[in-house]
A and B are shown apart, each in its own frame.
Chain A
Amino acid sequence: MEIRTAEAPIADNAEGDALKKLKRGFDVRLYGEAEKVISQVQVNTFAVQPPNFAGISPMPKLEVQEGQHVKAGDALFFDKRNPDLIHVAPISGEVIVINRGERRAIQEVVILADKEVQYRSYDQVPNVESSSREALVAFLLESGAWPLIRQRPYNVLADQNEVPRDIFISTFDTAPLAPDLNLVVEGKAAVFQRGLDVLGRLTSGKVYLGIDGRGVLAPSTVFTQAKGVEKVRFKGKHPAGNVGVQIHHIRPIRSKEKVWTLGVQDVLTVGTLFLEGKYDASRVVALTGAALDKPGYVKTYLGANIGDLLKRHTLDGNARIISGDVLSGKAKLPAQFLDCYDDQITVIPEGDDYELFGWLLPSSARPSTSKTFFSSIFSNIWVYNVNTNTHGEKRAFVMTGQYEDVLPMDIFPQHLLKAIITNDIEKIEGLGIHEVVEEDLALCEFACTSKQPLQKILREGMEMMIKEGL
C-alpha cells in the first residue's frame, strides 16, 4: 500500500486549495481490498442496460436488431421522449440478444465483442475552445457520451436544454473497498484535462474537483495539477468522497438549480472523444470483497459481463455479487452485467444463517457505528469480514440522531424520510431532497438500528418529486 509521503499534501496547501474537514461519517473497513495492479481479463459480452438510466422511458426505441454488427460508439437505442439522447455501444461486436423484462421493457442489449475494438469515426470533432457550446452539446449527444453526465437533483440523465449552474467531480471514493482513482488516471493527465476543458464549456459556473485531503494517499498530480477548475480538498470519513456531500459543502443545490456530476472515468471518456475522436468506454474496475481469491483491478469496458470479469476467481455458490459497493450497489448474477456508472464489483458471502443470541453476543466481530460492541474501541484499525445478514429485523423508527451522526450535511434525514412517507411535498422540498441521492443516505441506512430501507424511501420520494415537476 502506498503510504503518504509528506510532500504531496503540503504541495496542495501551497497551491492554496481550500480544505474542508468533515467531522461526521463512518468508514466501513472490510477485508478484500483490491491489490493495486491492473490486469487484463478477456470479457466476451457487454451490455447497455436501460434501467441504469433514471428517468428514461422503459421502452426505448431500438436502432439495432439481433445479429447486427456495431462499432464502438454506434447507436443502440434512444429515449422516445428525448430522441436526441442516444445510447451507444461501448465496444464493437455483434448484438446477440436483447433481453426484455416485465411488460417487455428492455433490460439489456447484449453485444458479443470483437477481438479488436473498431471505433465509429466522426466527420468532424468540434474544437473545444473555438466551437460554440451548442456544437459541443450536439457532439456529445451524437457520440453517445452524453448519458455519462448526470444531473442533480435526483441523479437523472443530464437535460441537454439546461445550462448547469456548476459541474462537480469527486476524484476519490470513500465507500467500502472503493477503487483508488489515482491508479485509474495514471498517465492520463492530458486526456483528463481535455475532458475538464469540455465540461468547463458546458456550464455557466465552474467545474469543481473534490480532492482527497485525508492525508493517507497522496492525490494524483493528474487531479492536483488540473487547470481551469476549482479544487477543493476534503478530509473526513465516508461519505466525504461522495460528490453529493462535496456539493453540499462547496455550493449547495437550492430549489430550481441544476448541477451536473461525472465520474473520473467518464471524464476520461469525454476527454478521449475530443482528443482522439473516438468513443473509448474503457474502464478500470476494482474486483473486491473477501469472497474473492485475489482482489485486484481489471481493465475492461462499460457494461462488462460479471461472470467474465470474475472468471479467474472460484466463486462460492453462496456469495453475493454486487455491482458497486456494499452500501449502494446492486446485487447481480454472474450472467448479468456491470452497471453503467459502477467501477467496482464486490463479492461477499451471504449471511443466511441463524445465530444463537447473535444480537447480544455476536459470534464474529461486525462493523457497527454503535459503541456497544467491543471492536468499536478499535474501529479505526479493525478490519471486518462481513456477510449480508440483516443482523436484526425491521422495526419502527425509534432511535434519533443516528443518521445525522454519519452524514456530514446540514440535513435531517429522518425527518426528510418521514415527510416522504407522509407525502408532505412542501416539507420534502424544504428539508432538501434535491441535495441528496441514494448513495448519500446509504451509510445512514447501514447504521439504522431499525433496519429501515432508506434508499428505497428516498428513491420513491425523488420519483414523486419528478412526477410533480419539482
Chain B
Amino acid sequence: MKQTLLKFLKRIEPDKEKAPLLHTAYDAFFTFAFAPNTVTKEGVHIRDGMDLKRTMVMVVLAMQLCYIWGTLNIGHQHFAALGKYQQHLLEGFHLKLFYGLVQILPIWIVAHVVGLGVEFYFAARKKHAVEEGYLVTGALIPLIMPPDIPLWILAFSIVFAVIIGKEAFGGTGMNVVNIALLARVFVFFAYPGTISGDEVWVSGLTKAAPGGVAEYGWIHLNVLNPLFENFGWATFQAGQAVVDGYSGATPMALAAKGGWEAVTQHYTPGQMFWGLIPGSIGETSKPFIIVGALMLIAMGIASWRIMVSMVLGMVAMALVFNWWGFNAYMEIPWYYHFSMGSFLFAMAFMATDPVTAASTNRGKWIYGFLIGMIGLIIRVLNPAYPEGWMLAILLLNVFAPLIDHFVLQSNINKRMKHVQ
C-alpha cells in the first residue's frame, strides 16, 4: 500500500529544473505526507525524532481551542448585537457555528494561500525546501484579526509582512520581528479608517450600534437557510435591528473612556474571562488560551521564562499604575488586565516566537518582563489605541538582539577576566 502510493507519487514528481515552483510545492506536500528517507551523513549518526514540522504543528495544535471558541464567538457577538441567543454560547449553536465558519474560513484560506504562495515562490527562487515557519504564522494571523477584516486588506498585509519582514531578511530564522504581528500592525497603520473604531469587532451589521441592521450574504440566505429549514431549525433573518443600548465597543475601548466602571456597564468580569466579548478572533477566551499556553510549556516548545516574566512585568506595572491612580484606566485592578484584551494571547503565542525573542535564557527573562511593562504602559496611556501588546512585542523584537548582546558580553567578560 505504502509502496504503491510512494511509486505513484514519485512518478508524478515535477522536474526540478523545468518547473522549480511546481517542484517546490510538490516537495512541501510530499515531505508533509512522508518523512524523507535521508540518513545522517556527517557528525551524529542518529537524530532526535523532533523536527521543525512537528514543532510548528504542535504550536498550531495548541491554538485549536482558540479557533473553535473564536468561530463560535463571531456568531455569538453577531447575534448578541441583535439581542438574540444571548444566554450562553451554545444557544442557537448551528447559527453561530455556521455564521462563524462563513466568516473565518475565507480569512484562514486567504492567510494560507497568500502566505504560502509567497513562501513557495521564494523557496523555489532560492532553490531550497519550504521552511515550516509559516504554518504557525498562517494559523496565528486569522486569530489576531478582527472578524470583519476585508480580505483584500488581509492579503496585502500578509504579502507585506512575509516579503518585507521575512524574505528581505533572508527567510525563516532570520526575521527580526514577528511576521504575524507585522501583518497585524500593517493593517493597523495602513488602514486606520477601515480598521479603527468599534465597527470591525462585530461582523454582519450595517452599523455596530443602535440603528444598524443585520445583513447576510448569498451563502447564508441561499445555501444555509434552506438547509436549516430542512431540519426545522431557526434561520438567518436579514434586516433584524440592533437592539437599543447596544455598543460594539470592546472592553479596552470602554476602559480607555471611563475606566473599570464603563467596562462593567457592558460586560461582567465572567464574560470577559470566558471570552463572550468582541475582540480579535482568537484573543477572547482566556481559559482556552491558558490551556494552549500550558500545552506549549508542557511540550517544551514555547519558553516558560518569557511567559512568566511577561506576567511579572505586567503585574508590576499595573501595581505602579494602581498606586499612582492618575486616571480611571490606571485604577483598574491589576488582575482585571488579564481578562481584558489580548494580554494572554500575546504572552502565549506572540512573545514566545523563538526567532524574534531573546535567544539566551537570561535574555528571555528581561525580554518578557519589558514586554509586560511596556505593553501595559501603551495599553493604559496611549490615547489613540487602547491596547499595547502588539506594539510592545514588536519594539522588544527589535531590541532582543541587544538584550542578548549584553548577556553574551557578560559571559565573554567572565571568560576574559581570567586572562588578564
Using CB atoms and an 8 Å cutoff, list the residues of chain A in contact with chain B: 28, 176, 252, 254-256, 320, 322, 326-329, 331, 346, 348, 350-360, 362, 366-373, 386-393, 395-401, 404, 410-412, 414-415, 427, 430-432, 438, 442, 445-451, 453-456
Among residues of B, the one whose C-beta sits closest to the C-beta of A322 is B45
State how many angstroms separate the Cβ of A365 from the closest Cβ of chain B.
Answer: 8
Q: Across the interface, do A399 and B46 meet the contact criterion of CB distance under 8 Å? A: no
Of B80-88, B156-164, B209-217, B409-417, the one contacting chain A is B409-417
> Which residues does chain B contribute within 8 Å of A392, judged by CB atoms?
35-36, 47, 50-54
With beta carbons under 8 angstroms apart, the residue of A327, A398, A401 that contacts B46 is A327
With the chains together, A349 CA to B185 CA distance in Å? Answer: 51
Contact with A along B142-161 (1 / 0, CB 8 A): 00000000000000000000
State how many angstroms separate the Cβ of A409 from the closest Cβ of chain B.
Answer: 11
Say yes or no: is B129 at the interface (Cβ < 8 Å to chain A).
yes
Using CB atoms and an 8 Å cutoff, list the residues of chain B in contact with chain A: 2, 5-6, 31, 33-40, 42-55, 57-58, 129, 131-133, 171-174, 298-301, 303, 354-355, 357, 359-361, 364, 404, 408, 411-412, 414-416, 418-419
Q: Across the interface, do A453 and B42 meet the contact criterion of CB distance under 8 Å? A: yes
Given contacts A390-B40, A400-B354, contact A359 B48 (CB under 8 A): no
Can you list 17 A-B pairs with a CB-CB distance of less than 8 A?
Answer: A320-B39, A326-B44, A326-B45, A327-B44, A352-B37, A370-B50, A371-B298, A372-B55, A372-B58, A388-B46, A391-B47, A393-B38, A395-B132, A401-B359, A445-B44, A451-B51, A455-B43
Q: Across the interface, do A431 and B34 meet the contact criterion of CB distance under 8 Å? A: no
Among residues of A, the one whose C-beta sits closest to the C-beta of B301 is A372
State how many angstroms separate the Cβ of B178 from the closest Cβ of chain A.
Answer: 13
With the chains together, A48 CA to B361 CA distance in Å? Answer: 45
Q: Across the interface, do B49 and A356 meet the contact criterion of CB distance under 8 Å? A: no
With the chains together, A163 CA to B91 CA distance in Å? Answer: 82
> Which residues does chain B contribute within 8 Å of A453, judged by CB atoms?
42-43
Q: Across the interface, do B49 and A388 meet the contact criterion of CB distance under 8 Å? A: no
Q: Across the interface, do A427 and B412 meet the contact criterion of CB distance under 8 Å? A: yes
Q: Across the interface, do A446 and B354 meet the contact criterion of CB distance under 8 Å? A: no
With the chains together, A400 CA to B356 CA distance in Å? Answer: 10
Given contacts A354-B37, A360-B57, A455-B44, contact A256 B132 (CB under 8 A): no
Top 3 A-B residue pairs of the complex, sorted by shortest distance between their CB atoms = A392-B51, A358-B35, A396-B173
With beta carbons under 8 angstroms apart, the residue of A370, A393, A432, A450 that contacts B49 is A370
> Which residues does chain A contribute within 8 Å of B360, judged by CB atoms?
400-401, 412, 415
Q: Across the interface, do A356 and B34 meet the contact criterion of CB distance under 8 Å? A: yes
State how many angstroms separate the Cβ of B209 from the closest Cβ of chain A.
Answer: 45
Q: Across the interface, do B2 and A356 meet the contact criterion of CB distance under 8 Å? A: yes
Question: A368, A388, A401, A450 — which one has the most chain B CB atoms within 10 A of its CB?
Answer: A401
Among residues of B, the one whose C-beta sits closest to the C-beta of A364 is B49
> Which residues does chain A contribute within 8 Å of B416, judged by CB atoms?
255, 430
With beta carbons under 8 angstroms apart, the residue of B39, B51, B58, B412 that contacts A393 is B51
Q: A387-B46, A389-B47 are in contact. List 6 more A-B contacts (CB 8 A).
A: A326-B45, A327-B45, A367-B46, A370-B48, A389-B37, A411-B411
> Which residues does chain B contribute within 8 Å of A352, judged by CB atoms?
37-39
Given contacts A367-B49, A397-B173, A398-B52, contact A391 B44 (CB under 8 A): no
State how many angstroms separate the Cβ of A444 from the closest Cβ of chain B.
Answer: 9
With beta carbons under 8 angstroms apart, the residue of B36, B45, B48, B174 that contacts A329 is B45
Among residues of B, the one whose C-beta sits closest to the C-beta of A419 is B408
With the chains together, A346 CA to B361 CA distance in Å? Answer: 35
Among residues of B, the one whose C-beta sits closest to the C-beta of A394 is B129
> Which residues does chain B contribute within 8 Å of A353, judged by CB atoms?
37
With the chains together, A450 CA to B22 CA distance in Å? Answer: 24
With the chains together, A359 CA to B53 CA distance in Å? Answer: 7
State how many angstroms separate the Cβ of B367 from the closest Cβ of chain A.
Answer: 11
State how many angstroms separate the Cβ of B16 from the closest Cβ of chain A.
Answer: 15
Among residues of B, the one whose C-beta sits closest to the C-beta of A434 is B415
Given contacts A357-B35, A399-B354, A430-B415, contact A449 B48 (CB under 8 A): yes
